[in-house]
Amino acid sequence: MKTYHGSCFCGAVHFEAQGDLAEGTMRCNCRFCRKMRYWEMRLPDPDGFRVTAGAEYLAETPRAQNDGVNMHHHFCARCGTRLWTHGEIAEMGGAFVMVCVGALDDVPEAELIAAPIHYADGAHDNWWNPAPETRHL
């Protein structure tokens, strides 16, 4: 496990996340992830995440519908950079934090290229199974 450092584009928000890109990343076919071009790394332990600067600049994307899903998508209110998602979904193992791979600052290009990607079928609330089509993700 590694400690990654991340930030937004303007530098207002900084965070640390303990995980390992080699353990896998995720892209999803749900409406939100497609529009935001999300590419995430789920942390093995939600407690392995912390904001180190700029909490006052955080904003959350409101959910499109009140569907009872406990997911919160955070971004920098100054520059718009997508940063992380946290929530709790029983089918995903309960509480989780997923950081946006693009917000990580200290990842060598070779590590990004080697990171496995799980293409999730979030469009059908079936994240733990592969999406039927992935070329557009």
Q: What is the pLDDT of residues 11-40, one digit of tens each?
A: 999 999 999 999 999 998 988 888 888 899
pLDDT of 92 higher than 80: no
Once rounded to an integer, what is the mean pLDDT over residues 121-136? 85
Q: What gap in Å lies between CA 2 and CA 130, rounded to an integer?
A: 26
Say how many Å lie between the first and final Cα of the chain, rounded. 27
pLDDT of 66 higher than 90: no
Nearest 5°: phi and psi at 128? -80, -5
CATH code that applies to domain 1-9+40-62+70-137? 2.170.150
pLDDT confidence of 65, banded at 50, 70, 90? Answer: low
Q: What gap in Å lies between CA 112 and CA 21, rounded to an integer?
A: 7
Q: Which residue has the higher pLDDT, 73 or 127?
A: 73
Dihedral sign computed on CA atoms, order 78, 84, 90, 92: positive
